[in-house]
Amino acid sequence: TTHLVWLRNDLRITDNKALHAACSDPEARVLAVFIATPQQWRQHEMAPRQAALIHASLRAVQQALAQKGIALHCHAGTDFAASIDWLADYCRREQVDALFYNRQYELNERRRDARLEQQLNGRVRCHGFDDSLLLPPGSVQTGGGEMYKVYTPFRNAFIHRLTESDLNCLPAPKTRAGGALPVPEAPAAFDYPTADIGDGYPAGEEGALQRLRAFCREQVQDYLRQRDLPALAGTSSLSPYLAIGVLSPRQCFNRLRAECPQLLEDRESGAFAWLNELIWREFYRHLLVAYPELCRHRPFIAWTDKVRWCDDAAKLQAWQRGETGYPIVDAAMRQLNATGWMHNRLRMISASFLVKDLLIDWRAGERYFMSQLLDGDLAANNGGWQWAASTGTDAAPYFRIFNPTTQGERFDPQGTFIRKWLPELADVPDNDIHHPHRWAEKQPCVLNYPLPIVDHKQARLETLAAFEAAKRGE
Ligand code: FAD
């Protein structure tokens, strides 16, 4: 018997359901493949940084699998349509009896898998697993059998189900009978723009697990107090690993519970607050399956599609470059551009600024984030943008508009974060760091920093009017 594991967004060997199932028969010959789909990635605007992290992680998985006696073949494909043709052919050549994969929940990915099953037409048994979530989509529903549209009741029902579910992690597969394989040659470079990801995210699951352990042991207690302050490293920074499956949410949950056994009882704890973020991740993924239109970037609240967005390329570019004249927004965008990661509070502030201060279509921001993020993830990114734009499920109501200056004052009071990313403001005293031109006017020097590109008060009124007109159907 030949079993084939198709690795996609699950680049690890521990706690990998598809891999574990494929290896459960000790007699079976087990093969693994990964198919690069650069054309599809371009369509999905995947950040070159994320592609680079995938490549490095793939190398690590390939080595780990070789030690277990499993060869990982990395195929340089193009798009999803071509991948299924290639895979069907590969199954024929290698006389594969059963194919194992972990499900992906985005629309194009689900269609690809359905077409593949059709094409294989029963010649190869297909086994799909719900692996990238704590609980499978559709398993947490209202009494009426529907997906929750509001987060808190979803979370409560989710926790209830959690206590009834088997969430134990699966071990890495045992070494196959033939023993370890020689160290394989590294996968060829992807046909995709390259990017330097620095040394913040060492490749391989061991590095991710170490960070997870350290965070749950040493930092999670302070999460509630520190998570909103971008100047501190108060969050786990695990999102790039979770996004491509170097780490599983079960590993996160089990490690957290091992360090904090009272996790589900003590709802005021940092540990519970962290679990809550993991559940937001689940919420957005469950939504994608319940409302596939979200994958096409349709707003959840239909009338918001009538908002007359402002099509201003210069303003969009100023936002992208971190040159809006609002220090907290600019520092956030420069962090994103330089590292591919942005603190959650800042994602909320900068997204809100694009939509509510510049009145630019949230989809332009969603795309730009995706093109830069190391942790780019359709569900979380779309969910975050629709939340900030007031177009999504349980989103911020449209009339609640962040004031970027007071947000900065609240969450970066001394401007520590701002100064790190905007060295041109290094000399501005703490009191004036959130409105540096007020200080600069009294100085003999000229500040090399743009004036605010919009007046927040005025912009707020215009945005309210635009949303209200759309709501009236005008
Ligand atoms: P922690 O605070 O340590 O949280 C642990 C994990 O929980 C994260 O790694 C992440 O997997 C998950 N998580 C945390 N917050 C959220 C959330 N609000 N929604 C969904 N999952 C969450 N997250 C992504 O992983 N990819 C994205 O493309 C993405 N785009 C976003 C866009 C906007 C506009 C907003 C407001 C949020 C976005 N987020 C996205 C969610 C969140 O900002 C990041 O997950 C978080 O900042 C990652 O840092 P961390 O790993 O230190 O998080």
pLDDT in tens, 249-308: 999 999 999 999 999 999 999 999 999 999 999 999 999 999 999 999 999 999 999 999
Give the dihedral sign, CA 142/146/150/151. positive
Q: Is the CB of 277 under 6 A from ligand 1?
A: yes
- The stretch 84-99 carries a mean pLDDT of 98
Q: Is the pLDDT of residue 435 over 90?
A: yes
What are the pLDDT digits (tens) for 47-66? Answer: 999 999 999 999 999 999 99
Which pLDDT band holds residue 378 (cuts at 50, 70, 90)? Answer: very high
Q: Residue 342: is its pLDDT beyond 90?
A: yes
**At residue 380, does pLDDT exceed 90?**
yes
Residue 22 pLDDT > 90: yes
Rounded to two decimals, the ipTM of the complex is: 0.99
> Which residues lie across from 101 on neighbouring strands?
6, 128
What average pLDDT does the segment 449-464 reach? 98
Q: Give the distance (Å) from ligand 1 centre to CA of residue 14.
A: 23
Q: What is the pLDDT of residues 358-372, one digit of tens each?
A: 999 999 999 999 999
Answer whether 45 contacts ligand 1 (Cβ < 6 A): no
280 is known as an active-site residue: yes
Q: Ligand 1, residue 283: give the atom nearest the CA.
A: 20
- Please determine, for residue 434, whether its predicted confidence score (pLDDT) is greater than 90: yes
pLDDT at 420 over 90: yes
d(CA 386, CA 381): 8
Q: Is 277 labeled as catalytic in the residue annotation?
A: yes
Q: 34: Cβ below 6 Å to ligand 1?
A: no
Average pLDDT across the chain, whole number = 97
Query: Quick check: CB of 385 below 6 Å from ligand 1?
Result: yes
Q: Compute the distance from residue 161 Cα to the ligand 1 centre, in Å.
A: 23
The confidence score (pLDDT) of residue 198 equals 87
pLDDT of 468 higher than 90: yes
Percent of the chain residues topping a pLDDT of 70: 100
Distance, in Å, from the CA atom of 386 to the CA atom of 357, rounded to the nearest integer, reads: 15
The verdict on the CB of residue 377 being under 6 Å from ligand 1 is yes
Print burial letters for 262-292: b (CB count within 10 Å at least 16), e (below 16): ebeeeeebbbbebbbebbbbbbbbbbbbbee
- What are the structure tokens assigned to 132, written together? 């990238």
Average pLDDT, integer, range 409-420:
98
Residue 346 CA, ligand 1 centroid: distance in Å: 11
Q: How far is the CA of 377 from the centre of ligand 1 (A)?
A: 9
Residue with tokens 């409560």: 156
Cβ 279 under 6 angstroms from ligand 1? no
Write out pLDDT tens, residues 225-254. Answer: 999 999 999 999 999 999 999 999 999 999
Q: Is residue 385 among the annotated active site residues?
A: yes
**Whether residue 474 has pLDDT greater than 90:** no
HSE at residue 316, side-chain half, CA atoms within 13 A, is 16
Give the Å distances, CA to CA, from 196 to 10, 200, 353, 462: 22, 11, 28, 40
Query: What is the mean predicted confidence (pLDDT) over 166-174?
Result: 97
**Residue among 351, 325, 328, 322 at smallest CA distance from 450:** 325
Burial 77-94 (b: 16+ CB within 10 A, else e): bebbeebbebbbebbeee
Say whether pLDDT at 153 is over 90.
yes
Q: Give the whole-angstrom CA distance, residue 229 versus residue 226.
A: 6
Nearest alpha-carbon partner for 338 in 23, 49, 35, 30: 49
User: Is 362 among the catalytic positions?
Assistant: yes
H-helix or E-strand spanning residue 363? helix 362-372
Give the residue-averaged pLDDT of 443-448: 90
